[in-house]
Amino acid sequence: MTYLGSERYCHCYHRQTMLYLTESEVQQLLSVKNCIPIMRSTFHALREGTAQNQPRRRLILKTGSVLHSLAGAYGDYFGTKIYASNPKHGVHFYCTLFDANTAEPLVLMEANYLGQIRTGAASGYATDLMANPHAQVLGVIGSGFQARSQVEAMRAVRQIREVRVWSRKADKAKQFAAQMNAIAVDSAEAAVRGADIVVTATNAKDPVIQKDWIAPGVHINSMGSNVASRRELPADLVRSAGIVAVDSLEQAKIEAGDLILAESWENVVELKDVEPDYRPARITIFKSIGLGVEDVAAAGFIYEQAVAQAVGQVIGFRGLPARE
């Protein structure tokens, strides 16, 4: 599967070279709006068995540093997003993409924006499947970089007329509201009550909303936690939902703390198996944990756009002959 046609890019670079893309170039080439159809195609491919995903792996050091890796295969590409994190020194993201037919390396890109954009786009796709088609009010808990792409995604799939945001740091909520044409409110409850769609994008360890704030017909996107011991949603809310969609059931059972701590899997399905179906009497949840195949699909689009637009730097690598 390609986005621009293979003849336009396959022979643009000599063997033993690959492309390098910076964060600003990735941001230039991929938007939340054009990533939502990519996520739709990715989940359709997972359903058809033509894409592969490998659950996130973590290598944890005594220093507090952690190496995270997510791999996947989609169409003409396979690859891995890796990131290294340390609570005192931050996080560093990279994604490497290879040709699925020849195993030749194609591109190395900085991948912070890649993750932010594809996470928002996956929520946009899930929202388009499950949320009220006439949803107008969005409630957001959190004001970090993930919250920004979530708002963009909700606006891409629904006619949102009001966005309310609450964060533990009031100054950040006000800054976010000013940048995103939203309203900063004084409490999480004020952000959530009466909203048609709710987004939780925090690093909280314990629930940030309560079940009685959520009315039937509301759709929730939760993506802040991908660690088994952390959650944003209370157990009673998770259990009461008519449907809880996850990107991958295998990966969710490893790291979706919202579901693991709720000890509830009866209402959980994979997003690839969800059909458009809004029901006003039920609450729906998309628990986003992020998949390597999502990164690979988005990175493939970025790579083709970069070649078509002559964006990025060509760098060398030394290949080895295949063994007989």
pLDDT digits (tens, 9 = 90+) for 250-284: 999 999 999 999 998 999 999 999 999 999 999 99
CATH of domain 6-115+292-316: 3.30.1780.10
Q: What's the confidence (pLDDT) of residue 296?
A: 98
3-state secondary structure of 33: helix
Q: What angle do CA 142, 146, 149 make, to 5 degrees?
A: 115
Q: How many beta carbons lie within 10 A of that of residue 151, not counting itself?
A: 23
Q: How many beta carbons lie within 10 A of that of residue 293, not counting itself?
A: 25
- Token pair 């941001």 is found at 27
- List strands edge to edge, sheet with 162-166: 183-184, 162-166, 137-141, 197-200, 219-222, 284-287, 243-246, 268-270
3-state secondary structure of 47: helix
Structural domain boundaries of the chain?
6-115+292-316, 132-287
CA–CA gap between residue 175 and residue 173 (Å, rounded) = 5
**Regions in the chain scoring below 50 on pLDDT:** 1-14, 322-324
pTM of the predicted protein model: 0.91
Picking from 299, 276, 297, the residue whose alpha carbon sits closest to that of residue 39 is 297
- Asked whether the beta carbons of 244 and 269 are under 8 A apart, the reply is yes
11-41 confidence digits (pLDDT tens): 444 457 899 999 999 999 999 999 999 999 9
- Asked whether the beta carbons of 249 and 47 are under 8 A apart, the reply is no
CA–CA gap between residue 251 and residue 8 (Å, rounded) = 36
Instruction: Using alpha carbons, list the distances in angstroms from residue 83 to 103, 202, 306.
Output: 22, 19, 22
Q: What's the confidence (pLDDT) of residue 321?
A: 54
**Architecture category of domain 132-287 in CATH:** 3-Layer(aba) Sandwich (3.40)
CA–CA gap between residue 152 and residue 166 (Å, rounded) = 17
3-state secondary structure of 14: coil
List, in order, residues 6 or more apart from 108 with CB less than 8 Å away. 18, 19, 20, 21, 94, 95, 96, 97, 315
Beta bridge partners of 314: 19
Picking from 3, 100, 51, the residue whose alpha carbon sits closest to that of residue 302 is 3
Q: What's the confidence (pLDDT) of residue 264?
A: 83
Instruction: Using alpha carbons, list the distances in angstroms from residue 106 to 31, 244, 305.
Output: 21, 36, 13
- Asked whether the beta carbons of 108 and 26 are under 8 A apart, the reply is no
CA–CA gap between residue 121 and residue 73 (Å, rounded) = 18
Q: What's the confidence (pLDDT) of residue 16?
A: 76
Strand 313-316 relative to strand 17-21, pairing: antiparallel
